């Protein structure tokens, strides 16, 4: 049957986020044939998450009229520290009870009967923008994923730059010495001002201290327990004073932090994505660009500053690319093992 | 004569600084056979600087018992924006009346009768540390040249990373939004706190406003018109309060800015050099490392943080490497031309 041959080239991709799991099945042209969105379990640890990933892939396969075992493989974009070689994920703080290391790739692969490759969520989203999205015309790229936290993915000379495995932490670039406390525990990180989790914590404190805001009313209206990107967008639309103030601070911090990164890297293009980035869209990309102006050193030679082109699907598409990259034998991204001095 | 063959492999290197020109002649093992140090002209524009470079190379050749025309070539590490392909230097603010572009390579080559290659001063100093100095055991490196300004050189995967020609501006990484005014005109740059020029300007204002300090007394005792690295070192030794305070602020800013760069790049090693870095030495490298601690994200996996291994000579040695690199046909460092989006 011809279908078998075609299905041999189908790939799965999973974007594993703190609130949702998005699974897709794509063909060799990266067209999405089926997808499925599940809430991320809020308890049960890595095993519960792995089980939900399996369900999400099965549902996406059903939608695409295929079987998990017929897939060429499944890629997972995961938060936390990812070992691409083994598929192990450790210290994924946004996932439930995930303090130690868990062999996520092996666990999911065992259930699905197909190879599973795991990559860093922000890096795979950046890879997707580079290969399929807004970053296609460029050879060097900085992806800024503005969501619960602020993550960065780096492409240099056409290849992901991972450093020793920990590169791209743009959320923890310092924008204010002795500044605001970051969810990571440090002070003055860009994420302390711009991460959705940090903004929510601040909004809650301000609200408890008597500051008037519609943020939590909108949250309840929408049946949410967290200030999602949609809640922030709605509050801004209503010109809620606290929401506007916090988003203004976030934009200022993003401008300083992204300009700092550009002063160091001098890439051709910067792509803004992530939950908040995609939700707030082009007008906010323009505002972030404006906020970079006071800090950009090489201001005679601006990089392109663009909205992510793949929207919400970038993470899952990038995860699916992990499979084709592995299959094509494309050299692994440049990651270095620490070498001891002589 | 055998000497001719040997001399065929001799190379010249020039470190063109804001206060001094250091020229050396090295053999193929990078041993310095002759050197010469001249003050940088404070007037006369690019032509006067070019003439002084020629004199410095001739004097270094005399010391090495050779002739400029017998050299394989001469490399120049220059401040400002350098076009490596043409040898043109533009907007070198630390050099006299150097606003526009000047064909420095061609001018010096014409006088010396030997090929001249020009590179960015900070990048060539980083290259020298990478190939010959403290960075030899590593494949990825961040060079931080702490002097009049604060420059950065980046080596990734064994090759210089220049971006579109403007990478490595670590001095203009923002460490404090709305912070102190930088000599570049922006606010809150690391260099606004840590650059020797910025520190001197602040010391002068404080002194004029009545703050007690020995800095300017020491400067005069040493027959200087600027607060050189030696003047700062002496004032610290005497526990001068203003000098101590300004250096403390510099170290704090360096810690934040370098940690930010590491959070992005995740290199194996960081080398601290430059006039102030080399003069203040190991104890200050330890202090800078300490100042990185509150900001380093991947703190389970520290990079090596080291003093430059080549001392004052790194710039000139790195410049001489430009010649061997060109001769060996080593691919030019990865620099990208901006590509227009389709």
Q: What is the pLDDT along chain B (342 residues), one digit of tens a residue?
A: 444 444 458 999 999 998 889 999 999 999 999 999 999 998 999 999 999 999 999 999 999 999 999 999 999 999 988 888 899 998 787 788 888 899 999 999 999 999 999 999 999 999 999 999 999 999 999 999 999 899 999 999 999 999 998 899 999 999 999 999 999 999 999 999 999 999 999 999 999 999 999 999 999 999 999 999 999 999 999 999 999 999 999 999 999 999 999 999 999 999 999 999 999 999 999 999 999 999 999 999 999 999 999 998 999 999 999 999 877 765 444 444 444 443
**Does residue A235 carry a pLDDT above 60?**
yes
Under a CB-based contact definition with an 8 Å cutoff, are residues B75 and B124 in contact?
yes
Element (H, E) at A119: strand A116-120
DSSP assignment of B20-83: EEEEEEE-TT--EEEEEEEEPPSSSHHHHHHHHHHHHHHHHHHHTT--GGGSS-EEEEESSEEE
Among B118, B175, B171, residue whose Cα is nearest residue B143: B171
In three-state secondary structure terms, B185 is coil
Q: Are residues A317 and A304 in the same domain?
A: no
Residue A12 β-bridge partners: A25, A74
**Does residue A10 carry a pLDDT above 80?**
yes
Contacts of A184 in chain B (CB under 8 A): 297
Tell me the HSE value of B191 on the side-chain side, using a 13 A CA sphere: 24
- Residues A246-255 have a mean pLDDT of 98
Under a CB-based contact definition with an 8 Å cutoff, are residues B76 and B53 in contact?
yes
Residue A302 DSSP one-character state: P
- Residues A262-290 have a mean pLDDT of 97
CA of A36 to nearest chain B CA: how many angstroms apart? Answer: 33
**Residue-level pLDDT at B330:** 57
Considering CB atoms only, which of B174, B184, B339 is closest to A175? B174
What's the predicted TM-score (pTM) here? Answer: 0.91
Under a CB-based contact definition with an 8 Å cutoff, are residues A53 and A21 in contact?
yes
Comparing A192-206, A251-265, B75-89, B145-159, which segment has the lowest mean pLDDT? B75-89
β-pairing, A11-16 vs A74-78, is parallel
**Residue-level pLDDT at B42:** 87
Element (H, E) at A319: helix A314-327
Among A120, A124, A88, A90, residue whose Cα is nearest residue A106: A88
Q: Are residues B179 and B104 in the same domain?
A: no
**Residue-level pLDDT at B269:** 98
Q: Give tens-digit pLDDT for A43-100.
A: 999 999 999 999 999 999 999 999 999 999 999 999 988 888 899 998 787 788 898 8
Q: Are residues A140 and A56 in the same domain?
A: no
Comparing A25-29, A129-133, A282-286, A322-326, which segment has the lowest mean pLDDT? A322-326
In three-state secondary structure terms, B17 is coil
Q: Are residues A179 and A154 in the same domain?
A: yes
Q: Are residues B142 and B288 in the same domain?
A: yes
Question: Using CA atoms, how far apart are residues A314 and B153, in angstroms rounded to an integer?
Answer: 33
Contacts of A175 in chain B (CB under 8 A): 174-177
Q: Is residue B131 part of a domain?
A: no
Q: Are residues A303 and A322 in the same domain?
A: no
Question: Using CA atoms, how far apart are residues A90 and A80, in angstroms rounded to an integer?
Answer: 6
**Residue-level pLDDT at A330:** 57
Q: State chain B's maximal CA–CA distance in angstroms.
A: 67
Q: Is residue A131 part of a domain?
A: no
Interface of A with B in 49-108 (CB under 8 A): none
**Percentage of chain A exceeding pLDDT 90:** 83
- A224-229, long-range: CB < 8 A, 24+ apart: A226/A19, A226/A200, A227/A196, A227/A199, A227/A200, A227/A203, A228/A19, A228/A275, A229/A147, A229/A196, A229/A275, A229/A276, A229/A278, A229/A279, A229/A280
Question: Using CA atoms, how far apart are residues A90 and A23, in angstroms rounded to an integer?
Answer: 21
- A228-234, long-range: CB < 8 A, 24+ apart: A228/A19, A228/A275, A229/A147, A229/A196, A229/A275, A229/A276, A229/A278, A229/A279, A229/A280, A230/A279, A232/A196, A232/A199, A232/A276, A232/A279, A232/A280, A233/A279, A233/A280
DSSP assignment of B203-265: HHHHHHTT---SHHHHHHHTT-SS--HHHHHHHHHTT-HHHHHHHHHHHHHHHHHHHHHHHHH
Question: Using CA atoms, how far apart are residues A58 and A21, in angstroms rounded to an integer?
Answer: 13
Under a CB-based contact definition with an 8 Å cutoff, are residues B295 and A172 in contact?
yes
User: The domain that contains A52 carries what CATH number?
Assistant: 3.30.420.40
Under a CB-based contact definition with an 8 Å cutoff, are residues A277 and A144 in contact?
yes
Q: Are residues B150 and B50 in the same domain?
A: no
CA of B244 to nearest chain A CA: how many angstroms apart? Answer: 19
Q: Are residues A149 and A258 in the same domain?
A: yes
Q: What are the two backbone dihedrals, phi and then psi, of residue B193, each rounded to the nearest 5 degrees?
A: -105, -30
**Does residue A3 carry a pLDDT above 60?**
no
Question: Using CA atoms, how far apart are residues B200 and B204, in angstroms rounded to an integer?
Answer: 6
Residue B309 DSSP one-character state: S
Q: Give tens-digit pLDDT for A20-48.
A: 899 999 999 999 999 999 999 989 999 99
> Do B264 and A261 count as a contact with CB atoms less than 8 A apart?
yes
CA of B230 to nearest chain A CA: how many angstroms apart? Answer: 28
In three-state secondary structure terms, A131 is helix
**Residue-level pLDDT at A2:** 41
Find tokens 């080549």 and name the residue.
B310
- For A59-88, b where at least 16 C-beta lie within 10 A, e where not — what string? bbbebbebebebbbbbbbbbbbbbebeebb
Enter the ipTM.
0.91
Starting from the edge strand earliest in sequence, which strands make up the sheet with B11-16, in order?
A: B32-39, B20-26, B11-16, B74-78, B116-120
Question: Using CA atoms, how far apart are residues A44 and A235, in angstroms rounded to an integer?
Answer: 33
CA of B22 to nearest chain A CA: how many angstroms apart? Answer: 27
β-pairing, B74-78 vs B116-120, is parallel
Q: Give tens-digit pLDDT for A300-327.
A: 999 999 999 999 899 999 999 999 987 7
Q: Is residue B224 part of a domain?
A: yes
- A with B: how many residue pairs have Cβ under 8 Å apart? 170
From residue B141, how far is each of A182, B27, B84, B130, B135 by CA, in Å?
A: 28, 26, 21, 7, 7
Q: Are residues A33 and A105 in the same domain?
A: yes
Q: Are residues B75 and B162 in the same domain?
A: no
Q: Are residues B36 and B89 in the same domain?
A: yes
Q: Is residue A129 part of a domain?
A: no
> Do B260 and A339 count as a contact with CB atoms less than 8 A apart?
no
CA of B302 to nearest chain A CA: how many angstroms apart? Answer: 10
Within an 8 Å CB–CB cutoff, is residue A222 touching chain B?
Answer: no
Q: Is residue A340 part of a domain?
A: no
DSSP assignment of A18-80: SSEEEEEEE-TT--EEEEEEEEPPSSSHHHHHHHHHHHHHHHHHHHTT--GGGSS-EEEEESS
Best of A249, A260, A340 to substitute, by most chain B Cβ atoms within 10 angstroms, is A260
Residue B52 β-bridge partners: none
Within an 8 Å CB–CB cutoff, is residue A336 touching chain B?
Answer: yes
Best of A259, A266, A298 to substitute, by most chain B Cβ atoms within 10 angstroms, is A266
> Hey, what are A246's tokens?
């916090």
Q: How many domains does chain A have?
A: 2
Q: Is residue B266 part of a domain?
A: yes
Q: Is residue A342 part of a domain?
A: no
> Cα dihedral sign for B15, B19, B21, B22?
negative
Q: Are residues B295 and B327 in the same domain?
A: no
Residue B101 β-bridge partners: B90
Question: Using CA atoms, how far apart are residues B50 and B16, in angstroms rounded to an integer?
Answer: 10
Domain of A331, in residue numbers: 2-124+313-335
**Residue-level pLDDT at B3:** 43
Q: Is residue A103 part of a domain?
A: yes
Within an 8 Å CB–CB cutoff, is residue B304 touching chain A?
Answer: yes
> Hey, what are A19's tokens?
């609130």
Best of A90, A162, A163 to substitute, by most chain B Cβ atoms within 10 angstroms, is A163
DSSP assignment of A226-279: S--HHHHHHHHHTT-HHHHHHHHHHHHHHHHHHHHHHHHH--SEEEEEHHHHHH
Among A255, A155, B128, B149, residue whose Cα is nearest residue B141: B128
């Amino acid at each position: 049957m011809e279908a078998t041959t075609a299905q041999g080239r189908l790939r799965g991709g999973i974007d594993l986020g703190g609130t949702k799991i998005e699974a897709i099945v794509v063909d060799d042209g990266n067209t999405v044939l089926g997808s499925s969105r599940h809430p991320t379990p809020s308890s049960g640890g890595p095993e519960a998450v792995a089980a939900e990933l399996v369900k999400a892939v099965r549902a996406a396969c059903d939608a695409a009229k295929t079987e998990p075992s017929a897939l060429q493989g499944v890629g997972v974009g995961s938060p936390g520290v990812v070992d691409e070689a083994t598929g192990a994920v450790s210290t994924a703080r946004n996932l439930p009870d995930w303090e130690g290391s868990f062999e996520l790739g092996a666990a999911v692969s065992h259930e699905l009967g197909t190879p599973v490759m795991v990559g860093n969520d922000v890096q795979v989203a950046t890879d997707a923008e580079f290969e399929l999205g807004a970053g296609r015309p460029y050879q060097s790229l900085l992806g800024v994923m503005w969501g619960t936290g602020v993550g960065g993915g780096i492409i240099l000379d056409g290849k992901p730059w991972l450093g020793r495995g920990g590169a791209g932490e743009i959320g923890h670039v310092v924008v204010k010495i002795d500044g605001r406390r970051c969810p990571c525990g440090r002070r003055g990180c860009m994420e302390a001002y711009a991460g959705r989790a940090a903004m929510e914590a601040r909004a809650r404190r301000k609200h408890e201290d008597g500051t008037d805001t519609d943020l939590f009313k909108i949250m309840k209206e929408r049946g949410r327990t967290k200030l999602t990107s949609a809640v922030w967008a709605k509050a801004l639309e209503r010109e809620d004073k606290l929401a506007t103030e916090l988003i203004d601070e976030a934009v200022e911090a993003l401008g300083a932090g992204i300009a700092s990164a550009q002063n160091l890297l001098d890439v051709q293009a910067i792509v803004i994505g992530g939950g908040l980035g995609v939700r707030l869209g082009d007008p906010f990309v323009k505002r972030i660009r404006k906020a970079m102006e006071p800090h950009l050193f090489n201001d005679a030679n601006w990089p392109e500053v663009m909205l992510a082109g793949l929207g919400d699907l970038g993470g899952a598409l990038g995860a699916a690319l992990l499979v084709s990259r592995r299959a094509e034998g494309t050299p692994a991204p440049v990651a270095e093992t620490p070498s001891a001095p002589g």
